[in-house]
Structure 1
């Protein structure tokens, strides 16, 4: 049995194509989804993300409004802009690109975004809905992308032992909640977990999101496991790799995501999905 290499590029393209058709239908009803992206400062990685988000909007037919502010923008100025965008009916989704410069309180900014326009799903209101199992609103982009990858590869989550390595608010915790909502039996591991290797070895589905290159090795997984790699690490030779040792693990796995080209492309596709959902909810 050969291992399935889960193609995130293809699956994310399928989602974008579906959204493109949906937006064409919405346009006929005079609904025009719009996304405002706010970038403060000149973080090179953030600039790349923002430009990729713009390209995805253009492809799907989502109007994109871009605000590129200088590094020295004050917290008050940023809060004022968010207030304007909250009130603007053309803007269905607001995304403030993180990280923000040190002098701006990230928490305060995320709280200021209207939860109905919080397409990144970072507002405590939206996170709270997921915690109580209400998945009708926005879903956090990377975790939702992971669930799509699993489902669109025809892998059943129900009743499976799911191990998540990493407990960040962006991936680890929310993906655990989504796996749980899909009837997986979930265990979360982190830097203080005892017998991490033994727990990983029991996983039917293993999600690695810890930011340590090639941390999960073949001796830590069981035969026929599904491996989802959220890590993006740059090696000394400049190449990208994930948190899972891909070459070492792929022979043993039933299915595995590559890095790059696995989870990465899904994040923007799911952001676009949230944006279209926002336009529907607001109209």
Structure 2
């Protein structure tokens, strides 16, 4: 049997530092607040919101859920996002996706203020991830995958990694996280021929395709680490990942279960991002440019030569 990479163990290790950070902020009079914007009552969204609220409560972060009806208009969502942007007491915002088919995903993502984008959905946040610039936040699930590998001392540098799934939500962001750590990354997608060929050659496999039993025993080998990000309805009414867990887990060296794997770490990373956003918001604004006194002297001198300056 392979080693199980349990998410709760990782999030438990992060909890004390997050609680301490929240306490320090409150000592400075800053109450960390996360807005949760959700449309309708999709079961996966409701479950995720519940887990987020439990995590935030245990750390000391206040959640403010904002629930829109399933038949809401796009302008209702955009209006709510503008309100969150303008509310200085809110430090981070998570918007549940996917949106209704008629909604403009790009427009909605762009409407969120980047400094409050704690789940890395805006173009500004993604640009920071892809260029290496210190702007925005990485998508929480992608960052959670790396946190699990770090916690269990699984090396990444120089390793061959296969990511199954090319979305901007997980696939491409997690690929960039591996590249930053000097891994060699192959992204497989719906048009990839013989995904199993690429998987068998990898040291680490991350499956984020959202397809039950996609990764089978014939696609893996001993010595591998498998991170299962998929969330799919199981036959028993629960949830399962992308991996045929019962047949794959005896072969590979390490694997994340579903449930119990990446999900609980994702909520811890989200909380970390909210605290970082609250910390940034609490810092006094810096005056950039010339010193004010020196600038006044320059303006006085300029007025002597040009009286029309006012």
The aligned residue for residue 140 of structure 2 is: 141
Aligned residue runs from structure 1 range 1-283, under 5 A: 3-134=2-133, 137-283=136-282
The answer for unaligned runs of 5 or more in structure 1 is none
**Cα deviation, residue 15, structure 1:** 2.1
Residues 41, 101 of structure 1: 8 Å contact kept: no
Residues 35, 95 of structure 1: 8 Å contact kept: yes
Residues 120, 126 of structure 2: 8 Å contact kept: yes
**Cα deviation, residue 42, structure 1:** 2.7
**Cα deviation, residue 250, structure 1:** 1.8
Q: Number of paired residues?
A: 282
Deviations 1:72-105 (A, max 9, x none): 3332232222222112111001122223334433
Q: CA–CA distance in 1 between the matches of 2:52 and 2:243?
A: 27
| Deviating more after overlay: 59-68 vs 12-21 | 12-21
Distance 1:231 1:90, change over 3 A: same
**Cα deviation, residue 189, structure 1:** 0.9
Q: CA–CA distance in 2 between the matches of 1:240 and 1:141?
A: 20
Q: Secondary structure at the match of 2:88?
A: coil
* TM-score between both structures, scaled by the size of structure 2: 0.85
Residues 203, 222 of structure 1: 8 Å contact kept: no
Q: Secondary structure at the match of 1:31?
A: coil
* TM-score between both structures, scaled by the size of structure 1: 0.93
Bigger Rg, structure 1 or 2:
2
**Cα deviation, residue 264, structure 1:** 1.7
| Deviating more after overlay: 174-183 vs 83-92 | 83-92
Distance 1:135 1:248, change over 3 A: farther
Residues 126, 136 of structure 2: 8 Å contact kept: no
